[in-house]
Amino acid sequence: MSLDDLRRAADAARANAWCPYSHYPVGAALETDDGRVFVGCNVENASYPAGICAERVALGTAIAHGARRFVRVVITSAAAEPTPPCGICRQALVEFAPALEIFAVTPDGRTAHWSLAALLPAPFTPASLENA
Ligand code: THU
């Protein structure tokens, strides 16, 4: 799938975002190593901490469908600057995709690109548990 296809998938999910508190809709399209794509949007809650980011909705949906390995995620928002994944999402993603490539795209097409390894150096991983 092209980056533009993934962006369109993320934007379609973003249209369904539930964000009456932040008014900051986010969409995510997570691509597996065998070419499947799972999308998510942020889902906020009147109890604010119960809200969840678009990336983790996409990840949970993918896991529920049996996917385990991911190569790329595209994040879209309405912000003028590309939206990077929050710290909790970085940690959630590294469990399954330490080599994930992350793209964030603005409505006018400005694109940022990072590796998850660069955004989350020295991650806590399943292997970390073996050192106890
Ligand atoms: N949010 C995401 O869904 N993904 C990100 O990468 C950054 C932040 C959401 C959480 C909250 O619903 C809103 O954006 C404002 O923080």
| 24 Cα to the center of ligand 1, angstroms | 7
Residue whose Cα lies nearest atom 1 of ligand 1: it is 53
Q: For 16-122, list the strands marked E by DSSP.
A: 26-32, 37-41, 70-77, 101-105, 111-115
Tens-place pLDDT, residues 84-109:
999 999 999 999 999 999 999 999 99
Amino acid letter, residue 21: Y
Residues sharing a CB contact under 8 Å with residue 108, sequence separation 6 or more, in sequence order: none
3-state secondary structure of 62: helix
Given the CA of residue 26, which atom of ligand 1 is nearest to it? 3
Does the pTM surpass 0.85? The reply is yes
DSSP assignment of 11-40 equals HHHHTT-B-TTT---EEEEEEETTS-EEEE
Given the CA of residue 41, which atom of ligand 1 is nearest to it? 3
pLDDT at 72 over 90: yes
Residues sharing a CB contact under 8 Å with residue 25, sequence separation 6 or more, in sequence order: 14, 15, 17, 19, 41, 42, 77, 78
Provide the 8-state DSSP code for 53: -
| CA 104 – CA 111 distance, rounded (Å) | 6
pLDDT at 132 over 90: no
The pLDDT mean for the chain works out to: 97
Q: What is the pLDDT of residue 82?
A: 98
Given the CA of residue 57, which atom of ligand 1 is nearest to it? 3
Best of 18, 39, 53 for a ligand 1 pocket test (most atoms within 8 Å of beta carbon) = 53
